[in-house]
Structure formats: structure tokens, C-alpha cells
Structure 1
């Protein structure tokens, strides 16, 4: 029993000694780190350029300079700060540059202002490379470009839209370099997918805009509206006219009229008249030894959305 107590006491003393040793080791490490960080170091770092106050009528091209290598003398604490959050170098186009031929130019002579606006007082700029930055620019072109909508819409049977879609805006103002904006002919929307529609459509759709930082767009989306109505089918008997028959020939044909099927809204159904349609058979389009015409619809009603002719063959004989 006495031996066990002695053994426990010995282990306790040893553990306390180990803990004290680890504590002193940690304190020594912290003191060493603080000692290192308190010293001044000189090193070169790469900084990206942040362009501000660029004139609106100019656009900076992608092939412009965008990096400065700066040799800095600073305390270790500051270098640690740079490691975790490397600042960007701001170039103010209203103060820091002068305009040349198709480019803005920044020179090393602005390093004093750079040290004031970007770095703390205890940071010394030793050198900057390159000593000149050139920002190529182009004059903006302003162009209105039409919007093309993409839809995948299905309606419940008996419902449809008659007057099509209304989109606002129907065009987008694009501002950017001439060579880029001039190549854009239209802007597409993302695809609007709707199923079993029977109510009016009123949706906002995003535009599929080119990913190019050199161009700006007046709108990011468009508003699409459509009136959904009840629809029905109807049919009318329309007489046939034969055209382009040589004067020396007489044609006998059958039937004399065809059935025209049309699809329209209930609102417009009573406005559809037989006189709105015109069906012809063109003698000039028949082939050799062909004994029938193919009727063509050359006139239709403004009140129908779609129309078709039921009869596809009109038999005929030539009388001499």
C-alpha cells in the first residue's frame, strides 16, 4: 500500500515537471516569434491593380498592365498582415495617370502618393517594377441591341395566346469597345419553362449576357407578359380559283371548294369570315402527267392564329 502511494507521488511530480517544461517551451517560442516579427525585413511582393474613376466614355482593354512588383521594407507584423490580406494598388484615373494616344499612362513618380494612399507610415517603398504602366483603352460604342426570348411553354388544351408576347424592354443598350459591341447582333434570354398554362403570363427573365468586363448593359433582365385566352377550332368552305391556265386550254376540276380549318380565340371566332381566305391552284406548278392540283392558301384572316387546308388534292382534266 505504501509503495503504491510513493509511486503515485513520484508520477505526479514528474507530470508537473513535464507541464512546466512545455509551458516554458511555448513561452520561448512566442518570445522568438515576437522577436522575429518586431524586426524590419525587405522583400518584393506582387500587387494587382484596381482601376477607379475611369472616364465613362473610355473602357480599359484586357491587354492592359494589371500588376506591380513592389519592393517594401516593413516590420514582420506588417508582412504577416500582407500575407493574410494582400492589398490592391488603387490607380485613380482622375489623378494618377495622363492620357496618351489610345492609352492612359501611370509612372513611378506617383509612388509617393501610392505610399500615402495604400501603405501605412511604417512601410517604406524601396523600388517599383515596372516603372510605367500602360492602360490601353477604346472609345465606347453605344448600341441598342434587340432581345430574343427563349421559351418552352405548354398550354392546357383549349388555352393559348393570340397576340404573342410583350417584352419590356425589347432591346438593351450596350456600352463598350466598337469591335466587341459591333459584333453583338442580339441578346438572348434564359429559357422560360412553363407547363399546363391557363392563366396570363407575367414573368421576369434574366438575360444571357456575354461575360466580358469591358462592356456594360443597361438591363440584366426583361419583363415578359402574355394574355392567355380560351381557343377553339372552326371550319369554312372556301371556293378554289385556278390561276396561270394557258388561254387555249379549258380545265375542269373537282371539288370546286375546300374545307379550311382554323384555330382562333373564342373572342375572335365570330370575326372570321369566308371572304378573309383565298385558295388557289396554280397550273404553272403541276408536273408532267400530273392529274391533280395542290391547293395553296394565299390569303387568310387576321383573326386566326393558325390555319390548314383539309383537301390536299384537287383532281382535274383538260378539255380540248
Structure 2
């Protein structure tokens, strides 16, 4: 046993004295003084290839805090190019035996713009796969549903919402209540009032329910026209959560036919579309198609 351990130590020692090349990701952070902010397509990380003795390469994972941390003292709006390899070579303070061979991307196109803050709605980027017999009821809820974001004015003005981190929930048969993080896609050039938010998703056993004699509505109807529908009501079967269906009133189900579709139709009958509570779905409609007669108002 001792001879085996000695052989292993010698083998490791000999191999770690050889020269190797490895590739490592290095996070990118661009810092600029307010009232300015960084704009442009700045990657979250660089792909850096190093060459060196095995012992030195190990230090990349143990001793060095590797990051591309670039500080800018802006006086006005500006635009310039950063040479990533030159910056890393001059600022990582590595041993002479540890070399930066290549960096991708080789340049960063940095643009300095005015700083702005605004509240942005959050969008849950989640996928929920329920167990058989269960389903999502309603829409996922976030608390808070918006956060304050600070950054370059041109980025914020085009931002209508911001995603959460991408999460998949499998084999779900109960409500989801947990903390999640916002996406890190622009974390190196934007500031956020908070990174962590609460997610709530209602999960219920699946059920079905019939609703009879639901009146059909004609939408986009001109003031000088009226439409006679044959028949004027439908029977609808909905699928949804058991508690959700128990609370749905017939008034919460709206079958409708767009007058513009009637004008474009050549068959004489159309299928109604439905407005129904989120999380429920239409299983069947009787009758499936509705005939119509267009009349002019006098």
C-alpha cells in the first residue's frame, strides 16, 4: 500500500511539472461612475486559454480570484474598444511561467451613456410539468412583481420587462412557494434593487365541469349592423383545477365571434372563440359551429 501511494505521488509530481494548456471562463464586470452607465453588448464572461506548468495551472482554481474587472472614470458620453488579452496580461499579476495564450472575444465594444433608473415588471421564466391528474391554476405570481433597475438610458427605455432565472419544475402535485432569482443576463452592466423574489404557483387536482346556455357575443360590430346568431347560446365543458371550477360563474365564460371574421367567411358558419379564466381550458362546445344572418339597422 505504501509503495502504491509513493508511486502515485511521484506520478502526480512528475506530471504536474509538465506544461499544459487549459481553458477557463473569466467573469466580466465593467464599473463606471454615476451619472454614467455602460451600454453595448458586453458578455458575461470571457473564454481564456492559459499555458503553464501544472502546479501553476492548479493555482488558477485555488489561489487566483480570476475576473475581468474594468473600472472607468467617465467625464462624458464616450465609445471605445477594450483589448481583453492586453488587459488580462497587465492586470492579473500571474507568475512569468503562466501565460495567457488567447481570449475570446478579443475586444469589447464599450459605450458610455447617461445613467437612469426605473421600475420594471418581472416575467417568470419557468416551466411546470405536473403529475397526471394535476394542473397549474391561474398565472404564476411574483412578489414583488417589479423591481428598480438602474443602467444606461438606451437599455432601460427599451426594456418592458425583465426575466427571472430559468427554472423547470417536474412531477408537481402541490402548490409552489419558493424564492427564485432574477436573470443574470445583464448583471454586469445593470444594477437591481434586489436579486431574490418570491414565486407562488397554485396547483390543483384536475376536474371537468359543464356550463349550459352561455350567450355568444358578437364583437367589433358596427353601429349600423346587427347579427342574428343561430343558435344564440352554446353549452361548454371546461377543464381546470377542482377548486377553480367550483368558483367559476357562467358570466366568467364569454364565447364570441368577431364581426370581421363573419364578413370574411364564405361557409355560413363559424366556431366561437372563448375568454375563460386563466388555467382553465375548453374541452367541448355544443354546437361546435354557429350560423349567422347579417342585418342592417334602420
TM-score using structure 2 length: 0.49
User: Bigger radius of gyration, 1 or 2?
Assistant: 1
Which structure has the higher relative contact order (CA within 8 Å, separation 6+)? 2
Question: 1 or 2, which has the higher strand percentage?
Answer: 2
